[in-house]
Structure 1
Amino acid sequence: MVSGAVTDVDADSIHAGEPVRLTATRSDRGSGYRFDLDGLRGLAIALVVVFHVWFGRVSGGVDVFLVLSGFFFTGLLLRRAESAQPFWAWSIVRRTLRRLVPAMAVVLAAVVVATVLLLPYTQWSTAAAQVLSSLFYYQNWQLALTWSDYLAADPSVSPLQHLWSMSVQGQFYLAALLAVAAAAWWCARFSSPGRLRPAVGAVVVAVSVASFVYAAYGVATNQGWNYYDSFARGWELLVGAGLAVCAPSLVLWRPVRVALSVFGVLGVVLCGWLIIDGANRFPGPAALLPVCATAAVILSATQLRFADWPWPNRLLAHPAMRWLGDIAYPLYLWHWPILIFFLTEGGNTHAGLVGGVGVIGLSVVLAWLTHRFVEQPLRQRTSPADSEDAGYARSRHLVASAVAVLLAATVTVAAGWQFTAVQVKPPVAVGGPAPAKYPGAEALASGAVTPDEPMRPSVFAASADVPPPTADGCIADWDTRDVVTCTYGDPDADRTLALAGSSHAEHWLPALQVLAIEHSFRIQVYLKMGCPLTLAEDATDKGEPIPDCRDWSAEVIDRLDADRPDWVFTTGTRPSDEGGDETPADYLDVWAALSDRGLNVIAIRDTPWLRRGTVRYKATDCLAGGGNRISCGMRREDALDPVNPGLVPASAFPSVFPIDLTNAVCEPTICAVAEGNILIYHDEHHLTASYSRSLAGPLGRALQPILGWW
């Protein structure tokens, strides 16, 4: 038997494996090289691509990648550290950058070009930010901050969103390199080099346990952040790292190896079918299935020659599987942007059979070309004495130069655009446009004349035209459990209106502020992003559970009971997944709780959410892409039910008063994205502060008979 430790040739990231021969020679079969892990890499990337394209959910393949990455990279670190070669750490840094950056540079450059050609200019800043975050390996944190939905692909999703996993790996590589280097220095100075593996193993066990507990807690409390959190993902990589430490010394009975092999392959293949909501459960305990399955495959053939491998490992070592493993990294890089741009151009949420085959086929071709003409030349080891090697050297230098140019151009374009958009010409709120030129909602509500004036805010300024709590920090974000409250309007007034709920209650504040100053009342806000008042256990936002929403809502209701405002203003409806709108059952539970406390409630009908079928879109993107206020809008019958769905349920609560300002937002047959020269939405479904202020008149006329304050 020979050692099962992988050699340096295959010790790269599982996304960026070293090229290997497609047929194993006799010497290969006795070398201890793990061709089956190349095949496992190929199986994992196949699952990732197929599930992204056709099933709209995670497959567990990325979790396989993470375990294998931890195994390969930690094994390489330990072998190099034990060799005591000078500058071994720097050689690993160079090697890793050479494996990861060139293919990434090619794909990012292609995405920049496609973004300029295919996407509206309002999306260029977001794309530039994601290009930079992907290249510098902090993409996962950017996505965590925005809770981007990774459940499925659709045109509203970033073409670089999938690179969060590369960022997690890059951060792990840096941490692991520093940790092993520190451990090697400590052992050489204060102990003995033979203590390196036990020392590293102890750290791996301690940190992986802490990471797993943290991830399990995050699933229950903050999954939108948890999914992308490097520390929550750390235990998956550390399982691989632990195997790199201990696997060479393990001796397993052959039936155990066969059982591990069968379980491992089946676990990897079936993971996406058995755990259908992985995006809501990984990297918590549910991720034990793909992680343990990967570990089982690694252990099943450790310290065995090829001839002694269990039969599932031999299947994984088939040349076709290993070929997929060779192109796994570029295939992972290419498939997602191709899918997103395909969906964007077609305006579809699903690729379909023919479209999906086309996406996969193009991804495979580009992955092979990238592997053959970018990765392989840069990995050739040449000798100046050999003419053939000299040719390889020229090819390598040519490819390296081309990659460097692409990289420099991509960084320059992305950083230049970001600097211009963020520093030179940042979006600025327009303030209160003159009502005579910009009647806004009054053009619909009272027939005010709309002169020929440019729309305000512009598509560039819209993102800054937000209600005061967003700018003031007076709305709790997704990660804030505490109740945040602030006072607006007339702080010295005797009458108080409480504004409570999510950002869809918040966007009425500019209109209420106009009324509060005019009629002297105080506005007290109790707001949380993505969290309308609810007592439901399974509250979600953007498909992500927000477990603290119920507790936050319960505390707000108690605070309202203690503060005793004259009225509570909140939303009474929300869009339905089937089209139109509805009053969910959990809203009625809130109304009952407020009524039991003797609180009066104004339940306003929610404004339309821009969507084509189930795909959200931004008004600014549509307008920048050549649409107009009508074509970028929605048919009223698609956005809203014919009758306010809150009317009937509210009739059961004497203290709940529903109001509906739909006719001040929508025309009889269309809900446009601009009225009275004012842009209605600053994103997919939130009113601009400018349009909200223009709603003060219609809102005041609806509230007057209820409040009796003017």
Structure 2
Amino acid sequence: MMTLAPARPATKASGPPPVTSLGTRTAGFYRHDLDGLRGIAIALVAVFHVWFGRVSGGVDVFLVLSGFFFGGRLLRGVLTPGAFPRPVPEITRLIRRLLPALVVVLAVSAVLTILIQPETRWETFADQSLASLGYYQNWELANTASNYLRAGEAVSPLQHIWSMSVQGQFYIAFLALILLSALLFRRVFGRHMRTAFVVLLTALSIASFVYAIIAHDTDQATAYYNSFARAWELLLGALVGAVVPSLRCPMWLRTLAALVGLGAILSCGALIDGVREFPGPWALVPVGATVLFILSAANRYADPHTGGRLPAPNRLLATAPFVSLGAMAYSLYLWHWPLLIFYLAYTGRSAVNAVEGAAVLLVSGLLAWLTTRYVEEPLRAGRRPATRPAAKAPSVPLRTRLRRPTIVLGSTVALLGVALTATSFTWREHVTVLRANGKELAELSPRDYPGARALVNNARVPKLPMRPTALEAKNDIPESTVDGCISDFDNVGVINCTYGDKAATRTIALAGGSHAEHWITALDLLGRMHHFKVVTYLKMGCPLTTEEVPLVMGNNDPYPKCHQWNQRVMAKLVTDKPDFVFTTSTRPWNIKPGDVMPSSYLGIWKELSDNRIPILAMRDTPWMVRDGEPFFPSDCLADGGDAISCGIPRSEVLSDHNPTLDYVAQFPLLKPLDMSDAVCRPDYCRAVEGNVLIYHDAHHISSTYMRTMTGELGRQLGAATRWWPV
């Protein structure tokens, strides 16, 4: 996203440069070429988002420029004798420049959310609205990325505001750092303060970059939004702002630097998959390119009159069209993403074609211009845009007449912000009250809510409202999740919790990922009924597998900690030697309809069999997928769909033959279990059966529906274990 110091009006692009002080040197011109660079960067961000579904590197350009402008201005303040920035005016200035446009976009997005999105998405929007206003949206998204149960949620119309949050946090932290350091450095280093600041910023930049590489290798999806992993990009911009006045370069070298920098920025989105590679080492490409472009005009900082002309690429970007685009870059960044997401939600498609994309960009540009002209500029400058003066107003001073519209506009924006905040909190509280029915769901009448019994026992289904409701579904999760009995993405430790009859001598080890976990609801009931205990060995998104480089199902991100956890859990299972290991035995195909038995499961089965541990191999439940993407039946139902339209043909998610059966002869201790007929009809997997919602997300069985599967699971378990007659 763009720097938080909006560009100067384009009408001054060719005018005489203002003279300011940069430390003890003279910075005699304003960088209109960097305004143009912001215009190029926002164009790349919008075009790659809308038409190509990729990351362009433009956000990284903005981060560097943010550090350069904001950091440079603060450094000028602390390095200039007799001057010292005051924190309160600085923060007030940031609020005036940033919040008005953001509040307007959030308010419009809230209205579009209510009109277009199902109410199951309103809570997420409310959470992210508050996160955006509070400038912690990046951490909200990082939490979502690391939460397996939320991994299939639809893309948020506010997702792009993560970069603004990173910058907002950086500004406050950098302001505190510079002011506190200046107080110390003036006493200790005196006239060598510039050198001290260069050393400090260099050390912090290196530390952040090293952290970014480590975080990227550990959990790239979370690191992408991490403020500490992104700080080096802003710090590098501030560092360049501190050293650029000291550089001298010939024109040919500066022109080459500008060409290389601009070329790298333009090609970054096409050559680098930023979604997967940033903020790792590949982020050096857009960041380094931006630094090169900034340095290409270094001579002019020394003396604007004798330092030579700007290189040709810089002069091009300093022309009015590019500067004008840069002037509204902030608003364009705010508008383009929610308009794209709402249009896709309205049409039900996953991408736009060329004409639709052009329309989205055109409307985004128009709204961005209006927002810049009538919201940003008046509140930033403390006046409204120039208009024809009133014919007669002799009794009202001119200053008062100019301030009145600004006060009205500022008050309107403030009221919008208050209304948005109050509405978000109110809706969250409403949903919390609705979801306080967990105990009630566990006690639903089997006669009124037969669930799976309607399929396996032909139970009669009365006409009653579905439970859990679409809003209740999100929290209808296994008790083991609530108890913290499943390792998250970062944890490679084995967490053991006991359910069922905890005093029993017979043990079933429930092992694998969350698709093994959701059976705990039925296994707990059966354990207490038939006197066996269930001990958990679970990790999010991680089935029992010998795969050395596992991938997260759904987004195919590398998951090295799954391999580490598998090595630990297998050693513990062999040591604990339970009577049975209950785990999943199939997965959906990623490349064609149906399901498959992954070859990487065979090594697990062999190791368990070699240690005389029988395996209860449960066929995985269907995943709700459309156009290659998971979808939430609860969203579909909340949006007016029904049990059929919100379901999926059985042939798309289940093969005619259970693939596990092909390995029974090879592994005599393998006991296949298949509950597909308790979830799907012969030709179709509906969203609701027996008045009960089957899934609480895109592919995990709701605990309420799982309770209705207990009878059929007990029949199959009894036959496999021979612990009770069936």
Q: How does 1:465-484 map to 2 (within 5 A)?
A: 465-484=476-495
Deviation at residue 501 of structure 1 after TM alignment: 0.9
Q: Deviations over 1:132-191 (max 9, x none)?
A: 000100011111111079xxx999111101111111111000100000110122234x33
Conserved? CA contact 1:343–1:349, under 8 Å: yes
Equivalent position to 2:218, from 218, 221, 233 = 221
Conserved? CA contact 1:432–1:690, under 8 Å: no
Q: Counterpart of 1:539? A: 550
Q: Distance in 2 between matches of 1:400 and 1:85?
A: 30
Q: Percent identity?
A: 46
Q: Deviations over 1:328-377 (max 9, x none)?
A: 11111111111111111111111121221111111111111111111111
Deviation at residue 398 of structure 1 after TM alignment: 2.9
**Relative to structure 1, is the Cα distance of residues 655 and 202 closer, same or farther in structure 2, using a 3 angstrom cutoff?**
same
Q: Deviations over 1:621-661 (max 9, x none)?
A: 22221222222111212222222233335554333333221
Q: Distance in 1 between matches of 2:548 and 2:298?
A: 46
Q: Distance in 2 between matches of 1:593 and 1:237?
A: 51
Q: Distance in 2 between matches of 1:169 and 1:438?
A: 51
Q: Distance in 2 between matches of 1:263 and 1:667?
A: 61
Q: Counterpart of 1:8? A: none
Q: Distance in 2 between matches of 1:453 and 1:258?
A: 73
Conserved? CA contact 1:214–1:232, under 8 Å: yes
**Relative to structure 1, is the Cα distance of residues 382 and 475 closer, same or farther in structure 2, using a 3 angstrom cutoff?**
closer
TM-score (norm 2): 0.91
Q: 3-state SS of the aligned residue for 1:484?
A: coil
Q: Counterpart of 1:46? A: 43
Question: Partner amino acid for 2:105?
Answer: V
Q: How does 1:339-354 map to 2 (within 5 A)?
A: 339-354=340-355
Q: Distance in 2 between matches of 1:103 and 1:158?
A: 19
Question: Partner amino acid for 2:609?
Answer: S
Q: 3-state SS of the aligned residue for 1:335?
A: helix
Equivalent position to 2:537, from 526, 532, 535 = 526
Q: Distance in 2 between matches of 1:529 and 1:671?
A: 25
Deviation at residue 468 of structure 1 after TM alignment: 1.2
Q: Distance in 2 between matches of 1:170 and 1:539?
A: 36
Task: Tell me if 1:292 matches 2:288.
Answer: yes
Q: Distance in 2 between matches of 1:440 and 1:381?
A: 63
Segments of 5+ residues of structure 1 without an aligned counterpart are 1-11
Q: Counterpart of 2:378? A: 377
Equivalent position to 2:131, from 126, 130, 133 = 133
Q: Counterpart of 1:4? A: none
Q: Deviations over 1:10-40 (max 9, x none)?
A: xx96155133224633523994211111111
Q: 3-state SS of the aligned residue for 1:515?
A: helix
Deviation at residue 253 of structure 1 after TM alignment: 3.5
Q: Counterpart of 2:10? A: 21
Conserved? CA contact 1:81–1:181, under 8 Å: yes
Equivalent position to 1:694, from 701, 708, 713 = 708
Q: Counterpart of 2:264? A: 267
Q: Counterpart of 1:615? A: 629
Equivalent position to 2:699, from 676, 685, 691 = 685
Once structures 1 and 2 are overlaid, which stretch shifts more, 474-483 or 126-135? 474-483
Q: Deviations over 1:72-98 (max 9, x none)?
A: 111111122334447622221111111
Task: Tell me if 1:420 matches 2:430.
Answer: yes
Q: Counterpart of 2:589? A: 576
Conserved? CA contact 2:544–2:566, under 8 Å: yes
Equivalent position to 2:249, from 247, 252, 258 = 252
**Relative to structure 1, is the Cα distance of residues 649 and 221 closer, same or farther in structure 2, using a 3 angstrom cutoff?**
farther
Q: Distance in 2 between matches of 1:492 and 1:331?
A: 63
Q: Distance in 1 between matches of 2:315 and 2:550?
A: 46
Q: Distance in 2 between matches of 1:570 and 1:668?
A: 25
Q: How does 1:20-169 map to 2 (within 5 A)?
A: 20-22=9-11, 24-28=13-17, 31-83=28-80, 84-85=82-83, 88-147=86-145, 156-169=154-167
Question: Partner amino acid for 2:564?
Answer: D
Q: Counterpart of 1:335? A: 336
Deviation at residue 473 of structure 1 after TM alignment: 0.4
Question: Partner amino acid for 1:530?
Answer: G
Equivalent position to 1:408, from 404, 418, 427 = 418
Question: Partner amino acid for 1:289?
Answer: V
After superposition, the CA RMSD in angstroms is 2.5
Q: Counterpart of 1:326? A: 327
Equivalent position to 1:670, from 660, 684, 700 = 684
Conserved? CA contact 1:99–1:375, under 8 Å: yes
Once structures 1 and 2 are overlaid, which stretch shifts more, 381-390 or 612-621? 381-390
Q: Distance in 2 between matches of 1:421 and 1:72?
A: 43
**Relative to structure 1, is the Cα distance of residues 650 and 366 closer, same or farther in structure 2, using a 3 angstrom cutoff?**
farther
Deviation at residue 470 of structure 1 after TM alignment: 0.4
Q: Distance in 2 between matches of 1:315 and 1:108?
A: 35
Once structures 1 and 2 are overlaid, which stretch shifts more, 140-149 or 587-596? 587-596
Conserved? CA contact 1:80–1:88, under 8 Å: no
Once structures 1 and 2 are overlaid, which stretch shifts more, 23-32 or 699-708? 23-32
Question: Partner amino acid for 2:32?
Answer: F
Q: Counterpart of 1:448? A: 459
Question: Partner amino acid for 1:333?
Answer: L
Q: How does 1:167-178 map to 2 (within 5 A)?
A: 167-178=165-176
Q: Distance in 1 between matches of 2:629 and 2:138?
A: 23
**Relative to structure 1, is the Cα distance of residues 426 and 181 closer, same or farther in structure 2, using a 3 angstrom cutoff?**
farther
**Relative to structure 1, is the Cα distance of residues 598 and 205 closer, same or farther in structure 2, using a 3 angstrom cutoff?**
farther
Deviation at residue 217 of structure 1 after TM alignment: 0.9
Q: Distance in 2 between matches of 1:39 and 1:549?
A: 46
Question: Partner amino acid for 2:298?
Answer: T
Task: Tell me if 1:558 matches 2:571.
Answer: yes
Question: Partner amino acid for 2:464?
Answer: E
Q: Counterpart of 1:6? A: none
**Relative to structure 1, is the Cα distance of residues 113 and 96 closer, same or farther in structure 2, using a 3 angstrom cutoff?**
same
Conserved? CA contact 1:138–1:167, under 8 Å: yes
Q: Distance in 2 between matches of 1:256 and 1:589?
A: 59
Q: Distance in 1 between matches of 2:545 and 2:202?
A: 41
TM-score (norm 1): 0.93
Once structures 1 and 2 are overlaid, which stretch shifts more, 76-85 or 403-412? 76-85
Equivalent position to 1:395, from 387, 401, 405 = 405
Question: Partner amino acid for 2:661?
Answer: L
Q: Counterpart of 2:388? A: none
Q: How does 1:229-240 map to 2 (within 5 A)?
A: 229-240=226-237
Conserved? CA contact 2:137–2:162, under 8 Å: yes
Segments of 5+ residues of structure 2 without an aligned counterpart are 20-27, 385-392
Once structures 1 and 2 are overlaid, which stretch shifts more, 57-66 or 384-393? 384-393
Q: 3-state SS of the aligned residue for 2:672?
A: strand
Q: How does 1:575-614 map to 2 (within 5 A)?
A: 575-577=588-590, 578-614=592-628
Once structures 1 and 2 are overlaid, which stretch shifts more, 663-672 or 309-318? 309-318
Task: Tell me if 1:187 matches 2:185.
Answer: yes
Equivalent position to 1:280, from 271, 276, 289 = 276
